[in-house]
Amino acid sequence: MGVVMDPGDKGMVATMAGQSCEIGILFGDISGSTQLYEVLGDRAALAAIEGCLRAATGVVTAHGGAVVKTIGDELMAAFPDPAAMFDAALAMQRCMETQAGPEGAKRLALRIGFHYGPAIRTGADYFGNTVNVAARMVQIARAGQIITSGDLAGLLPQAQRAATRELTRFSVKGKSEATRIVEVVWQESGGLTAVDVLSRSPPTVLRPLLQLDCAGIVRIFEGEREVTLGRDAGNDLVVAHDRVSRRHATLGLRRDRWMLTDHSTNGSFIAFDGEPERPLHLDAIDLHGAGTIGLGQPAALGGGVRFSVLLRRR
């Protein structure tokens, strides 16, 4: 059985499973929706989330994209032009910033991740590595943050590239090499380097220090070297628990971000204040604000480390 091609559908190659194409994929995920249901109840929370998704859909359409689907509190969109997708991501965050929060709850925030490359189009949906990478980007992003790949950043016009900064490299399932991670700076994000995307005024650079509190012992690190956490006595921070690996995790300063990297058997658990706890295993995540790190088990079960990113002017 063959596949009939639309003669006007340029740049697409027919396959038995769908059509190969070059496309930009963007995921937007509403942060804090679980707590919203607990605070407001099902009906009011659902109405707030649907309102947020409607606003995001309007932004996607206005920038030449198309919403592929919405699942729960997440939106998937496709863009033929990576520069338009970049602008849409900024517009979505600015739209969220102007939205009033639901009565009795704080304003909703959006995590955005996107990527551009080859994919397989089947009907109105897309599959393949580009979709997987975009999904990984939104998993890395925190509330109010936009994350993309270094590969996509290289496709952007200079004015847009100037509004990005490289964070680190992450492993992506199905890819043999680590993927470069880039943040799109659209506001004073996390209190670090303030960059105005429009005015290009000189940035105010703040030096991030890391404060760790383990069992009432507080230490501050400035980033001159990597900080080690684990069960062995030779670690900078020793957590004596049988689920903690000898050298469980490391904390290091990468550019202007503190990164937590898990090296353990049982994994780590990271919870930023006001956000749900998330697992981390043989992977890395950038730290911001304050929260807790559980080594080998959720912090609530014991052995948790309290962290705070403190800012000092250079």
Supply 127's token pair.
């599959």
What DSSP state is assigned to residue 299?
A: G
| CB atoms closer than 10 angstroms to residue 198 | 9
Indicate if the pLDDT at residue 261 is higher than 90. Answer: yes
Global confidence as pTM: 0.56
- pLDDT tens for residues 191-247? 333 333 333 334 344 568 899 998 888 899 988 789 999 999 999 999 989 999 999
Of 292 and 15, the one with more pLDDT? 292
Indicate if the pLDDT at residue 8 is higher than 70. Answer: no
Question: Average pLDDT in the 121-142 region?
Answer: 90
DSSP strand E in the chain: where?
Answer: 13-14, 19-31, 66-71, 74-79, 109-122, 125-127, 146-149, 164-170, 179-184, 206-214, 217-221, 227-230, 237-238, 249-254, 257-262, 268-272, 278-280, 284-287, 290-295, 305-313
Question: CA–CA distance from 145 to each of 7, 57, 124, 139, 294 (Å)?
Answer: 40, 18, 27, 11, 24
Compute the C-alpha angle 72/149/128, nearest 5°: 60
Question: Using CA atoms, how far apart are residues 117 and 130, in angstroms rounded to an integer?
Answer: 5
Give the mean pLDDT of the chain: 81
Compute the C-alpha angle 87/25/161, nearest 5°: 40
Candidates 303, 299, 283; CA nearest to 291 is 299
